[in-house]
Amino acid sequence: MSLFKTREWWTATCGTGEEFDHGCLAMGNLDEAPDGGVKIVTGSFSGLVRVHAPKDRDYKVDDLVLEMDLKVPIIQVEVGRFVSHAGKTSLAVLHPRKLAVYTLATTGGASAYHQLSLEYEHRLEHTASNMVFGQFGGAPADIICVQSMDGQLCVFEQETLAFARYLPNFLIPGPLAYCRQMDALLTCNSCFEVECYKYQVLASSSADRLRDGERSESGGLTATT
């Protein structure tokens, strides 16, 4: 018997009949409210992005502070510092063929009105699968890495495409993660191996396609599962 119990504090239903991917949920103080209140962001395959701001137990109508139709299916959402100027907290939205970054502006005083403002977007040449972000290479702001369905990693430093690399031994896209302590990207290949690529290795590679041995020869790590 467990000594701990979980209790439902707040719940909300996002639309009717909408579908979501596992990466379509993110949390953070998106509007940089002085009280540090966390906002819950969701994005669906129907293209609807919603921002909830729970204040008390149980759902209330005004907990939904924004609902916007982006007209394109949403694969993943993330909250971070993706804007080069002022280091503002922003929202990255990944679509099949586009990466867009927004900021959430609040106006209206007591009766606050929220609105998403597009900061920049990148058109993707390859269909996206997922993305990960972090302060790659010790960067002051968050950098985004998008993995495509055909194994290409595209690294975006805010408004600029830094570089693109193809992964070796690629069959289908797998999970993608960033380890800050190692400054490395982790994924898995079609040989059921977990691969770890140092960010500096990816950035300094002279070829668009990484060689099979480059991960281990240049400080990477491969583990067979």
Reported as a pLDDT band with limits 50, 70 and 90, residue 84 is confident
Output the average pLDDT for the chain.
87
Predicted TM-score (pTM) of this structure: 0.88
> What SS3 string covers the chain?
CCCCCCCCCCCCCCCCCCCCCCCCEEEECCCCCCCCCCEEEEECCCCEEEEECCCCCCCCHHHEEEEEECCCCCCEEEEECCCCCCCCCEEEEEECCEEEEEEEEEECCCCCEEEEEEEEEEECCCCEEEEEEECHHHCCCCEEEEEECCCEEEEEECCEEEEEEECCCCCCCCCCEEECCCCEEEEECCCCEEEEEEHHHHHHCCCCECCCCHHHHCCCEEEEC
The answer, yes or no, to whether residue 79 has pLDDT greater than 90, is yes
Neighbours of 1 (CB within 10 A): 2
pLDDT of residue 109: 60
The answer, yes or no, to whether residue 209 has pLDDT greater than 80, is no
User: Which has the minimum average pLDDT: 3-17, 50-64, 189-203?
Assistant: 3-17
pLDDT of residue 208: 67
Partners of 114 in beta bridges: 106
Handedness of CA 78, 142, 95, 132 (dihedral sign): negative
> What distance lies between CA 154 and its chain's CA centroid?
13
| pLDDT, greater one: 175 or 220 | 175
Q: How far apart are alpha carbons 91 and 27 in whole angstroms? A: 10
pLDDT of residue 220: 47
Partners of 221 in beta bridges: 196
pLDDT (average), residues 117-137: 96
Residue with tokens 């949920």: 25
Reported as a pLDDT band with limits 50, 70 and 90, residue 1 is low
Partners of 195 in beta bridges: 187, 222
